[in-house]
């Protein structure tokens, strides 16, 4: 099939009534999740993941979860601009200038710029995915066990390097994730590992249960502990559509933000948050009036909003073409594929073309839905901030418990979630980012599998990883990244950047 035929297939799949409905549910729910501070897409996808197996086809499930992800990036900007309360980490940068614009009576303009920038970035990012997916999938077929092993090592190292906070803590979380991923029965020998004689652990811990506990239940504990910090605003929205001068200021910033987001979203450990921070810093450097940033600069809203939306969408590229998650959200997307009996990797394009191209086409439709639906509903999203914690918390608890139980209809999943939730909350207090842990859990079994395959092919010789050119290059890049980030000067600059 040629490119045009693939796009037509994708659009035909995306506009089916069931898929349109689930796309709509995903973007609306994603916007609502983005508006509510603290309750992010990761925890929500973890809660909904088991339910998608019961109520949706694979196409509809992936379309809904994807819409929830990029919809949350859009929703986070609303409260960031109106009440200086970012609903998502990627919207922290948007709040710097968006809230200042709101204080000057230009809240509607800031929201309009954010919406248009996000739609432009989403359209471009969707095109990038459609164009880049096929060549990358073809390249992936040339990968052997050694190349896949090295690629996953690079992904884990990149997750460590790009994680916030201490490098040692991020590395420790990756190693812990790899160890958790080893729980269960060894496929080759049939011996059980780390099961402690508990039959329910013979098949390992389900990633959805771990995600629900570490991100869902732990999020609930944080929400309860921070009750009373929500804010509301009565500031007038004002004019939504920007004038020509504002569009001239926003357009180049949105274009550059789209480029940064499209590139950084593909990187392991990258995604929406990193893209928004980098694009804002670049715009401030390039601006002829950098002193205006932080005081209501239009470019300070357009660039990060374009970057986080583009980064959120292009992070699907390595997941769809290589079966490699670039961030924890993509790790859950891989889990969603597996729940529906689909093996992630380059074969998805050929074995499930309707899912592959339907998901890509749905991203453009979902971005259009976000623009058409959300600007008129701004008042509704703001009023959601007034939902008291005593109402929100039981609802989250119920969905988390249902999600954990429904994985295999076992109360054991709920009991095991309790200590994991306590650990998740403790990691937050210790500034140990849990994202590398999830990547380690997902990639651990695959890493072991490809390592064993490579060793069988080489008859036990470790030189296979440096003899193969692609494998050697990937390992060299990983080593260079680890050495560079360990340098004292780089560490200090990195800590300063994340602190800002």
Residues 409-424 pLDDT 10s: 778 888 888 888 888 8
- Residue 86: pLDDT band by 50, 70, 90 thresholds? low
Cα distances (angstroms) measured from residue 467 to each of 147, 152, 322, 458: 11, 17, 22, 10
Q: Look-up: residue for tokens 């200086």? A: 84
- 């390039």: which residue's tokens? 286
Q: What are phi and psi of 394, to 5 degrees?
A: -60, -35
C-alpha dihedral (85, 87, 93, 96), degrees to nearest 10: -20
What are the residues whose beta carbons fall under 8 Å from the beta carbon of 102, sequence distance 6 or more?
A: 81, 82, 110, 233, 235
pLDDT classification of 226: cutoffs 50, 70, 90: low
Residue appearing with tokens 């890509």: 360
> Which two three-digit tokens encode residue 152?
């996953």
Give bridge partners of residue 193 from the DSSP assignment.
184
State the maximum Cα–Cα separation within the chain, in Å, rounded to a whole number.
Answer: 71
Angle between helices 412-429 and 389-406 (to 10 degrees): 130
Confidence of residue 342 (pLDDT cuts 50, 70, 90): confident
∠ CA(290), CA(295), CA(296), 5° rounding? 100
Strongest mean pLDDT among 126-140, 231-245, 308-322, 392-406: 308-322
Q: Mean per-residue pLDDT for 201-223?
A: 76
DSSP string, 80-130: HHHHS--SSGGGHHHHHHHHHHHHTT-HHHHHHHHHHHHHHHHHHHHHHHH
> CA-to-CA distance for 385 and 387, rounded, in angstroms?
6
Backbone angles phi, psi at 384, to 5 degrees: -65, -25
Flag whether pLDDT at 232 surpasses 50: no
Confidence band of 384 (pLDDT split at 50, 70, 90): low
End-to-end CA distance of the chain: 48
Alpha-carbon distance 249 to 402, whole Å? 48
Residue 326 tokens read as 């670039």
Confidence of residue 69 (pLDDT cuts 50, 70, 90): confident
Residue 192's H or E segment, with its range, is strand 192-193
Spatial contact of 302 and 282, defined as CB atoms under 8 Å apart: no
**Using CA atoms, how far apart are residues 107 and 276, in angstroms rounded to an integer?**
20
pLDDT at 269: 57
**Average pLDDT, integer, range 58-77:** 83
Distance between CA atoms of 207 and 247, rounded to whole angstroms? 44
Q: How far apart are CA 323 and CA 148, in angstroms?
A: 10
């Amino acid at each position: 099939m040629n490119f045009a035929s693939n796009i037509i297939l994708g659009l035909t799949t995306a506009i089916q009534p069931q898929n349109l409905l689930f796309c709509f549910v995903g973007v609306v729910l994603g916007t609502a999740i983005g508006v509510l501070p603290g309750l992010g897409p990761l925890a929500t996808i973890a809660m909904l993941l088991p339910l998608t197996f019961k109520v949706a086809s694979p196409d509809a499930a992936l379309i809904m979860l994807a819409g929830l992800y990029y919809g949350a990036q859009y929703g986070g900007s609303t409260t960031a601009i109106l009440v200086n309360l970012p609903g998502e980490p990627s919207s922290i940068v948007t709040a710097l200038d968006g809230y200042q614009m709101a204080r000057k009576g230009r809240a509607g303009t800031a929201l309009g710029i954010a919406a248009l920038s996000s739609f432009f970035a989403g359209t471009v990012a969707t095109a990038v995915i459609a164009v880049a997916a096929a060549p990358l999938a073809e390249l992936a077929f040339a990968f052997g066990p050694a190349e896949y092993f090295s690629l996953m090592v690079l992904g884990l190292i990149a997750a460590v390097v790009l994680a916030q906070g201490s490098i040692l803590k991020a590395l420790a979380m990756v190693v812990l994730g790899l160890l958790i991923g080893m729980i269960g029965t060894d496929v080759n020998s049939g011996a059980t590992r780390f099961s402690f004689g508990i039959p329910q652990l013979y098949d390992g811990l389900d990633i959805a249960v771990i995600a629900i506990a570490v991100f869902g239940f732990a999020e609930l504990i944080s929400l309860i502990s921070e009750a009373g910090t929500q804010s509301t605003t009565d500031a007038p929205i004002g004019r939504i559509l920007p004038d020509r001068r504002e569009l001239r200021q926003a357009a180049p910033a949105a274009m550059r933000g789209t480029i940064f987001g499209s590139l950084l979203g593909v990187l392991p450990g990258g995604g929406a948050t990193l893209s928004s921070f980098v694009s804002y810093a670049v715009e401030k450097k390039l601006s002829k009036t950098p002193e205006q940033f932080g005081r209501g600069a239009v470019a300070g809203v357009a660039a990060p909003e374009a970057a986080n939306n583009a980064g959120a969408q292009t992070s699907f590229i390595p997941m769809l073409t290589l079966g490699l998650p670039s961030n924890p959200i993509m790790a859950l997307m891989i889990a969603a594929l597996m729940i529906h009996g689909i093996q992630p990797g380059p074969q998805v394009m050929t074995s499930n073309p309707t899912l592959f191209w339907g998901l890509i086409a749905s991203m453009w439709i979902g971005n259009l839905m976000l623009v058409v639906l959300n600007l008129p509903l701004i008042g509704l999203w703001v009023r959601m901030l007034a939902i008291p914690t005593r109402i929100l918390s039981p609802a989250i608890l119920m969905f988390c418990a249902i999600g954990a139980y429904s994985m295999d209809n076992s109360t054991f999943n709920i009991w095991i979630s309790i200590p994991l939730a306590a650990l998740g909350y403790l990691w937050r207090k210790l500034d140990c980012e849990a994202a590398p842990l999830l990547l380690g859990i997902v990639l651990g079994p695959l890493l072991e599998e490809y390592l064993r395959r490579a060793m069988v092919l080489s008859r036990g010789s470790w030189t296979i990883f440096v003899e193969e050119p692609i494998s050697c290059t990937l390992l060299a890049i990983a080593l260079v990244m680890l050495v560079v980030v360990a340098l004292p000067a780089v560490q200090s600059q990195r800590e300063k950047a994340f602190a800002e």
